[in-house]
Amino acid sequence: MRRTGPAARSALPAAALAGALLLAGCSGTADTEPPGSTSAKVNPTSARATPTWAPVTGTPQVIPAVRDFRRADGRGWRPSKGARVVVPAGEKSNVADEAQRMAQDLGLAVVYGDQTVQPGDIEVKITGKNGAQQANNVPVQSAADEAYTLTADGTRLTLTAPTDAGIFYGTRTVKQAVHAAGGLPEGTIEDRPGRPQRGMSLDNARKPFTQDWIEARIREIADLKLNQFQLHFSDDQGFRIQSDTHPEIVSADHLTKAQIRQIVALARSLHISVVPELDSPGHLGAVLKHYPDLQLRRASGSVVPGAIDISNPKAAPLIDSLLKEMSELFTNPEGAPAYWHLGGDEYQALLSSTPATTYPQLTRAARQKYGPNGTLRDLATGWLNDRQKTVEAKGKNRIEAWNDGFFSSPRVSADKNRMVDYWTGKEAGHRDPAEFLREGRNVMNFNDEYLYYVLGEPNQFVYPTGQRIYESWTPLVIRGTQPVAVPANLTGPDRIPGARFAIWCDRSQAQTAAQVAAGIRLPLAALAQKTWDPRTPALSWTGFKALADRV
């Protein structure tokens, strides 16, 4: 059953809003509509007097910081009594929901159509050639689609963007600026992200999190202009989503399909793409508990925990049936980027120094499929290639896997359209990220030196801090602490699209869900800043942390 959670739109706290309106101190005709009203007209014949307030000074106070601000003379903009959000494109336009959300955040009314923009109002307009024709809340293809412009001029505020995603990010800037400084200073903001993919990954398999907790984090990252949420829902410790095809594998504490649909719908409404991850051929302990005949065994007969025997002809049909069922659950708008993560990491057989004698069944299968020189790596690569075909047949077109699931071989190579999610270079045999970039692959940054929040801090992991990310990391620091050593033309947003901050629950009881939320707050803010703007931040860490506490 759906748990009661926080409101779908978090309004500005009453005390903060009251303070903003008190500062505005405006006179004139007051609206009688409640905050967030969607009436077509609000006192259409009454001209509102120009509100008065103390000037908003300095630069816009938001996280991530805006890329460009051109200051002008004037008092700036603050939310004021009777002010409205004006949507000329109308109530059926694809920016209506963004306008409504901003109105709800600020305690304003919304009006549609041919309206005179009055003092104190915010006007919201799509400017791109195709923006008005795009389906509502469709994930964008590039960072350019996420740009927006905000102009505070003569007590009015104008928000324009080529897409509704850009409009949404503009609304987040307004919301944060009001929280931090009461409003926006006079002038024009031109803003856009540096990297098109920016997000958070959650291990919901080892430690189950509630729908409410997940949705709260989705709202949090949306306000930071992050646009991806990866959900790792299956591992040795649990399979956390309802399955109708294999109900026996589902953990007692799990999310129902209805809850997943609600999470996906919320994420889409906030311009966040969900990246589901069903890891294989390792990390399958929760599934294999019910299929012991498919567990990988050594020649000695001992079981390899969590690993499926990819030489067994029954293995692929089992995993494919789960991939098909889950793919249908995580829906995507037609024509939009549709993500799927195959996992591929830490298949223990690949770490053996004597694979032919330790896993003779895998060696036989590799030679049968790839010839007398076929190897276990070939077999593992072929396994992921086949799983990719399964999810692509279900409409997924943005496929990812962990970097330790990619190998060099003259016989079989990973599908060229699969992105490398690079998390570590510490384990034996891991390839340098430079190799992937030189061979033409795109690389997502999951650098475990900075971006891995591992509960209980096992295996020499330490909890990452926002300060370290803010001061020392960039999207080019993929492995270790130094930028990847390749020419600049291989490090642009087309090749290193961005980064995700990953929460892993190896020692699930080490922190409560509330402690996790508190621990990741500043690291997420720092990640948002460093993926949005490639320049050295203007604020010191102390200043940035203080701002994060305000917004």
DSSP state of 241: B
Give 3-state DSSP helix, strand, coil % of the chain, rounded to 5. Answer: 35, 20, 50
In angstroms, the Cα distances linking 534 to 159, 448, 450, 473, 475 are 24, 20, 17, 11, 8
439 is annotated as an active-site residue = no
DSSP state of 154: T
- Residues in the chain, how many? 551
Q: Which residue has the tokens 């409410």?
A: 212
Query: Which ranges of 146-300 would DSSP assign to H, the alpha helix?
Result: 164-181, 211-223, 257-269, 285-288
Question: How does 131-151 read in b/e, with b if 16+ C-beta sit within 10 Å?
Answer: bbebeebbbbeebebbbbbbb
Secondary structure element (H or E) that encloses residue 366, with its range: helix 360-370
Catalytic residue from among 123, 186, 277, 346:
346
- Please give the torsion angle defined by the CA atoms of residues 13, 14, 15 and 18, in that order, rounded to the nearest 10 degrees: 120
In angstroms, the Cα distances linking 59 to 62, 249, 339, 538 are 9, 54, 37, 11
Q: Please spell the DSSP secondary structure of 262-293, one letter per residue.
A: HHHHHHHHTT-EEEEEEEESSS-HHHHTT-GG
DSSP state of 479: B
| CA separation for the pair 175, 400 (Å, rounded) | 34
Q: Closest Cα partner for 8 from 267, 332, 329, 333? A: 267
477 in the Ramachandran plot: left (φ > 0), alpha (ψ -120 to 50) or beta? beta
| CA separation for the pair 237, 222 (Å, rounded) | 29
Q: Closest Cα partner for 140 from 123, 128, 151? A: 128
Instruction: Check if the beta carbon of residue 431 is closer than 8 Å to that of residue 405.
Output: no
Which residues are tagged catalytic? 346
